[in-house]
Amino acid sequence: MRVSTMQLHNSMSGNIQTASTGVSKTMMQLSSNKRILAPSDDVFAASQLMGLDDDLSQLEVWSSNIKSATTMLSNQETALKDINNNMNRARDLAISAKNGSKSQEDLEAIAKELEQVVETIADLTNTKSSSGEYIFGGTKGDTAPIKKAASGWDNNSSSSTRKIEISDSQSASLGVTSEQLFGSSAEFLEEMDTFIAALKNPSTDNAAAVDKVIKDIDKAQKSVNESITTIGAEVNTLKAAETTNADKQLANKSMQSSLEDLDFAEATTRLSVQQTMLTAAQKSYSSTIKLSLFNYV
């Protein structure tokens, strides 16, 4: 009789434990709104979810890269438009210097304003991003691209732009470098300095000097405008990649949801059944224990 009672006790205790475990698991599912709490709940789905998590992490990296690249290109475009405006001003000033009625004092005043324009263009070329990187430095983002030296202007940027990965098959170029804009020795700025010096020299043939510098300015503006066009094309590429990545993220998240999200109605019904079964098992166990004790009296 003792062996039979022990077996019955173990069996009913096991039933209560099983029912209790089921109730606890369902309550945890309802609390988290997740069907899978551990890989063992659904090994195949858990494996798929791990792959989707990896994919989403990579897509987030690419999305972050796209945002960084877009900001960099936007900063470059703004700076280039400002450079272009200053070149327009330099052109206007140069043309005004061709007027034969200008006194030497007038020419020196024009030269002084041109010096400020050149300095502004140099400063714009040395624009930094919010992270402190020189946006026209290329792969030398920690070095100021343009620097005034005793013998002229030094152009310290790299000859190539940095590239950044934006998808599994694409990378984006981060705009242009100051070398691509002005040449390896910042020729445009040096040509402007030469013209400014000519204006200060009373013996200069102003008409010839103006004709030359106008050509220099037009050449430099062409380079700037081509760079703005290049940046526009790169921004369009980034927008397309951003849309593709966003679509992939949405698809991955939808698949994740289908694999792991809980059917709330089904789980609520299941919990009710499990709680009923647990209560019944507890009552049955209590009654059996009392009956067994009565047999010993």
Sequential DSSP letters for 205-245: -HHHHHHHHHHHHHHHHHHHHHHHHHHHHHHHHHHHHHHHH
In angstroms, the CA 246 to CA 167 distance is 11
Instruction: Quote the mean pLDDT of the chain.
Output: 85
Q: Where are the beta strands (DSSP E) in the chain?
A: 146-149, 152-155, 163-165, 171-173
Most distant CA atoms of the chain, gap in Å: 134
207 and 285 assigned to the same domain: no
Structural domain of 281: 263-297
In angstroms, the CA 272 to CA 34 distance is 18
141 and 82 assigned to the same domain: yes
Mean pLDDT of residues grouped by 10 in the chain (297 residues)? 56 66 65 70 81 93 95 96 97 92 93 96 95 92 90 86 91 91 86 95 88 95 95 95 94 83 66 69 67 51
159 and 293 assigned to the same domain: no
208 and 177 assigned to the same domain: yes
Q: Is residue 9 part of a domain?
A: no
Q: Is residue 240 part of a domain?
A: yes
3-state DSSP percent of the chain in helix, strand and coil, to 5: 75, 5, 20
User: What is the pLDDT at residue 268?
Assistant: 74
User: What is the pLDDT at residue 3?
Assistant: 45
Residue 177's H or E segment, with its range, is none
User: What is the pLDDT at residue 1?
Assistant: 42
User: What is the pLDDT at residue 165?
Assistant: 94
96 and 187 assigned to the same domain: yes
131 and 268 assigned to the same domain: no
In angstroms, the CA 88 to CA 82 distance is 10
249 and 270 assigned to the same domain: no
User: What is the pLDDT at residue 41?
Assistant: 72
Q: How confident is the model over 136-188, as pLDDT tens digits?
A: 998 998 999 999 888 889 888 888 888 999 998 899 998 899 998 888 778 89
153 and 281 assigned to the same domain: no
In angstroms, the CA 64 to CA 140 distance is 21
273 and 176 assigned to the same domain: no
Q: Which of 70, 50, 77 is nearest to 243 (CA)?
A: 70
Q: Is residue 208 part of a domain?
A: yes
233 and 268 assigned to the same domain: no
Q: Is residue 271 part of a domain?
A: yes
281 and 247 assigned to the same domain: no
When divided into structural domains, the chain yields a total of: 2
Question: 244: domain CATH number?
Answer: 1.20.1330.10
271 and 238 assigned to the same domain: no
Q: How confident is the model over 74-87, as pLDDT tens digits?
A: 999 999 999 999 99
User: What is the pLDDT at residue 296?
Assistant: 47
Q: Which of 2, 3, 8, 4 is nearest to 281 (CA)?
A: 8
